Structure 1
């Protein structure tokens, strides 16, 4: 397929140039909004060209960095390439790249970890400064200049609206069958002019299939032919299958008690192997005619759509293994009838999460005995990835699950600790904690009741006695009894790990 088949707006064909020429149009110090969400729909050529340019300028002693804004995580060709050459001054709102992580934790790159639903509106509000350039991948351009989104939407609508200049990457490896899968809503506004978002069902379409932009702002069109980063997910192991089993058993009980309908409520699932194990369990489970309202559509949801267990799925991006992508490409007409891809300001919008009654299922690094959850930091100081959209769903969902194996690092780390070394989700937003050991339903419980249940149900047996001992001594320490702590010991498990390589006493 020629570029003219993908770019049907004639004026844009006059703006076609190489990635290196386009990268030369991005000035030092610019805030650059790039497309991409969990390794899907990110620009492939311009970031690499920009990294080469920055490396050459640095070799000449010339400083050059940009502020990098995306939808969520991207890929080595974007985050990794720019981080490795020291080209990023400030990164937001989410990252998962090893090179980025190393520089952030070394203090060589600034990072603002932000709720994904907040990013677009913060840009609209002017809280983050001016957006100078947008670099957005699309699957094609219509004759009137409207853009066919690619495999993710993310914050692209906002980048195109707010940026002074736009660079488009037209990727001919993005399936043309994606056209019609997207729903871009243009009805949001800034306070005090906001109106309710007119959506009452997860598969409802409230917008249009295309992105718009001011055609005069498009300064470059770059032709690319490169696939997304496709991650292979590990098959569910015994631990993740046990976690999934606990959740499915709990949901069955909620249906029996009349607190959930027979087809549950819209599902939100974080990214990763545990999440895919839960979806695999649901695919084999007793529930029918399920729906999903989530950020990322993974292999597990594709399997559920194919089996008929899942009637529809709303997301902002695809995140598929190579095998799942092949199936998606081969059967795209089937999936286009069942999948809606939206801007993340809609996929993660608290108003919609609350209204639809989403069941939120997200991973964590650790939880403390009172139900405070750390989903981002190792030993309290080193960022892993970011909060992503878990907070959007946890605080506003009908049910909020947080999941983790009970131990890490071969049993050297307990994922249930006396006090969380960092807190992203307070006890007020955490309803259910699940490990392979069991499930703790924290609804309606006081702090000490939660502590007893989490220790009994979720902690690994090797650490359970020490946690019980900590709680009992804290209760009799003479301090306050609402949330008992021994402050000199509260983070001693983490300190012991840092000093000795294990939390074991």
Structure 2
């Protein structure tokens, strides 16, 4: 059988079965850890088979739900399929699926939004109870039972260590040439026995190439052949290009002042079109020999590796467009010694972020005039996606940068508001705010100085007079003068948008 080429551990050949058979082995109410990070390295056959099983049980009047733990967001075959049949009781730590979002916001699915660096250690601490089943995509199984990881690592090491039972999807689409690109570190310890992680450069390899897996835990192996869930990136629009331009000029200024080296510091970039526009700007910019210590490798970083602008990239997953995936697979031998894929407990480790001096660049939904950032909720109560790794980086980065277009919804929403409706990153963790209008450097500024800088540099012209008016009145009406706030108006813009569809009076 051709799948035996990928499954070299002969003791496990008897475990090969269909996805439907494997799904039957997952018990109702189980805590299930699945691989996947932004759609990369996600199992697809078993979750879909499980969703079909759940749907049939509901038709018979029977309830069946699991608690689903992952690395981050996953593919529609996991989040979308299981949410559609209402098969998830609790979801953690991050999701971006529209059906899952609907379930969470209507209250039929519980959601624990977490810093990604916390997940593995919380599971090791036992905070969430026992992990019953791990469902992991791999590229192959070696004779000793160890696993060739796929296009993401995420929390797979922890799932394999902690789960009572393991189901493996062996994806023949993932090239075996991925072998050697991963760095699986097994040296993390529980308190009070922790020791320093020996990583001092983004290119360091401190672990093993393969995932360890106890063959006695494996209850099913399902051969598959499917590409990752890849979303196309839009070409950078004018607003994104302006944001990128403001950042490039800021970096030049910091180098000139001696606050950044000529090759900058390791880059972290969130996912999305603005992030890729910034990376494209860096690729065309004056900086050479750049490095990256981030969560995901995007198309923009592939281009920088090809051009030589980026010397190496450390991440936990690929997050590529279909074109980016084709480029990566076609030239995987070129990328193998330039890209290292790590567990997310390493890629997002706060101490390593601080040690390396990372430049963190993340997206936001909104910021207020004092520098507090909301990156997760719409109008305070409806989750969009989650905090992901932005908090891991923002709190510990050498430079903490948040980016957004100054307006949304055809101008009916301002991304700069009197007070954010939900706080993910407090003013203490936010150093730089950038919109298409300009950049506000908040370092060393008091709250009132931050307000003046943000209003002057980042606000769209349609909203600048409104914010200026609010701030000037707050200076006189607020009881406390440290962070002037008119309590009755602080969230009035959100209230107006919810009632009328626009923040404008």
TM band (smaller chain)? over 0.9
Residue equivalent to 2:230? 230
Q: How far is 1:11 from its partner? A: 1.0
Q: 8 Å contact 2:433–2:440 — kept in the other structure?
A: yes
- Using the alignment, how far apart are the partners of 1:12 and 1:461 within structure 2? 65
- Using the alignment, how far apart are the partners of 2:327 and 2:380 within structure 1? 41
| Cα 1:461/1:24, change in 2 over 3 Å | same
Equivalent residues in 2 for 1:272-311, closer than 5 Å: 272-311=272-311
- Using the alignment, how far apart are the partners of 2:306 and 2:484 within structure 1? 49
Equivalent residues in 2 for 1:123-162, closer than 5 Å: 123-162=123-162
- Using the alignment, how far apart are the partners of 2:148 and 2:108 within structure 1? 37
Residue equivalent to 1:86? 86
Residue equivalent to 1:413? 413
Residue equivalent to 1:26? 26
Task: Output one character per residue of 1:354-402: Cα deviation in whole Å (capped at 9) or x when no partner.
Answer: 0000000000000000000000001111100000000000000000100
Equivalent residues in 2 for 1:84-123, closer than 5 Å: 84-123=84-123
Residue equivalent to 1:38? 38
Residue equivalent to 1:178? 178
Q: What RMSD over aligned residues (CA atoms) do the two structures have, in Å?
A: 0.6
Structure 1 SS opposite 2:229? coil
Q: How far is 1:215 from its partner? A: 1.2
Residue equivalent to 2:197? 197
Equivalent residues in 2 for 1:455-474, closer than 5 Å: 455-474=455-474
Give aligned pairs, total: 505
- Using the alignment, how far apart are the partners of 1:324 and 1:489 within structure 2? 46
Task: Output one character per residue of 1:32-52: Cα deviation in whole Å (capped at 9) or x when no partner.
Answer: 000000010000100000000
Structure 2 SS opposite 1:167? strand
| Cα 1:277/1:2, change in 2 over 3 Å | same
Q: How far is 1:433 from its partner? A: 0.1
Structure 1 SS opposite 2:433? strand
Matched, 1:488 2:488: yes
Residue equivalent to 1:448? 448
Q: How far is 1:213 from its partner? A: 1.3
Q: How far is 1:478 from its partner? A: 4.6
- Using the alignment, how far apart are the partners of 1:261 and 1:5 within structure 2? 48
- Using the alignment, how far apart are the partners of 2:150 and 2:303 within structure 1? 21
- Using the alignment, how far apart are the partners of 2:115 and 2:219 within structure 1? 31
Residue equivalent to 1:210? 210
Q: 8 Å contact 2:67–2:90 — kept in the other structure?
A: yes
- Using the alignment, how far apart are the partners of 2:36 and 2:215 within structure 1? 21
**Mind listing any 5+ residue stretches in structure 1 that lack a counterpart?**
none
Structure 1 SS opposite 2:15? coil
Q: 8 Å contact 2:478–2:484 — kept in the other structure?
A: no
Structure 1 SS opposite 2:291? strand
- Using the alignment, how far apart are the partners of 1:42 and 1:146 within structure 2? 18
Q: How far is 1:63 from its partner? A: 1.0
- Using the alignment, how far apart are the partners of 1:2 and 1:430 within structure 2? 53
Q: How far is 1:214 from its partner? A: 1.3
Runs ≥4 residues deviating over 6 A:
none
Structure 2 SS opposite 1:134? strand
| Cα 1:257/1:52, change in 2 over 3 Å | same
Matched, 1:348 2:348: yes
Residue equivalent to 2:368? 368
Residue equivalent to 1:165? 165
| Cα 1:263/1:134, change in 2 over 3 Å | same
- Using the alignment, how far apart are the partners of 1:255 and 1:10 within structure 2? 57
- Using the alignment, how far apart are the partners of 2:42 and 2:478 within structure 1? 56
Q: 8 Å contact 2:115–2:391 — kept in the other structure?
A: yes
Q: How far is 1:439 from its partner? A: 0.1
- Using the alignment, how far apart are the partners of 2:175 and 2:389 within structure 1? 27
**Mind listing any 5+ residue stretches in structure 2 that lack a counterpart?**
none
Q: How far is 1:80 from its partner? A: 0.2
- Using the alignment, how far apart are the partners of 1:404 and 1:11 within structure 2? 53
Task: Output one character per residue of 1:239-292: Cα deviation in whole Å (capped at 9) or x when no partner.
Answer: 000000000100000000000000000000000000000000000000000000
- Using the alignment, how far apart are the partners of 1:258 and 1:442 within structure 2? 18
Residue equivalent to 2:337? 337
